[in-house]
Structure 1
Amino acid sequence: MALASTMYSPRCRKGAPGRVRRRRQEKMALASSMYSPRCRKGAPGRVRRRRQEKMALASSMYRLLFRRTSTFALTIVVGAVVFERVFDQGADALFEHLNRGKLWKHIKHKYEQPEE
C-alpha cells in the first residue's frame, strides 16, 4: 500500500504532465524535422499521391477480394492453382534448359532409324 500511495501522491501527479508534455514535444519535433521544408522541397505532392495510389489499390483489392469470406476463399484457391501451374512450368523449363542435349527428346533423332 505504501508504494501505491506514493505513486498517486500530489508530487508524482504534479510531475507527470511535464513528462508527458516533454515526450509529446519530442515526438512533434521529430515529426516536424522529418517533414521540414528543406526535406520535402517540391516532393510532398508526389509522395502523397503515390501513397494515395497505393492505398487506393489496396482498398480496392480489399473491397473486391478479401471483404467477404466466400470471395476470400475463392481468391486463395484460384491463387494456389495459378501458382502451382506457373511454378511447375517454370521448373520444367529450367530443368530442360540445364539439361539441353542430354534428354531423350533432344537426342532421339540420332538413334531412331527412319521407317521404310
Structure 2
Amino acid sequence: MTILDELLPVPIEMAKRNLTGIWNFTNPGVVSHNQIFEMYRDYIDPKFTWKNFNLEEQAKVIVAPRSNNELDAAKLKKEFPELLPVKESPIKYVFKPNQKTSVT
C-alpha cells in the first residue's frame, strides 16, 4: 500500500539526489483490508461495519483471483528512514486529518 500524501514528495527528493534505478514505491510493511476498515471505524465512523467475503463469494464478483504480497521497501526505507510503516502512515496522513470521533 502506498500512502500518497507521504510518498509524493519522495520522487522530487530522489531527483535532487540523482537516485536512479528500480524502486518499490510503497510504504514498508503489510496491512490487511480489515485493519484499514478498523482504522476507518476508529477514526471516522464508529458505526461503520463490514462483512468479509468468503472465497466463493469473492470469486463471483472479481475477474481474476486475488493475491496478497509484500513489496520490499528496504531500499526506499534505507534512503528515506523517516518513512512510516504502512500501519502508521494511513493514521497520520489519512485518518487523523479527517477524524470525526475521539479515539480511546
User: TM-score per shorter chain, which class?
Assistant: under 0.3
More relative contact order, 1 or 2 (CA 8 Å, 6+ apart): 2
For normalisation by structure 1, the TM-score amounts to 0.20
Q: Which structure shows the higher helix fraction?
A: 1
For normalisation by structure 2, the TM-score amounts to 0.21
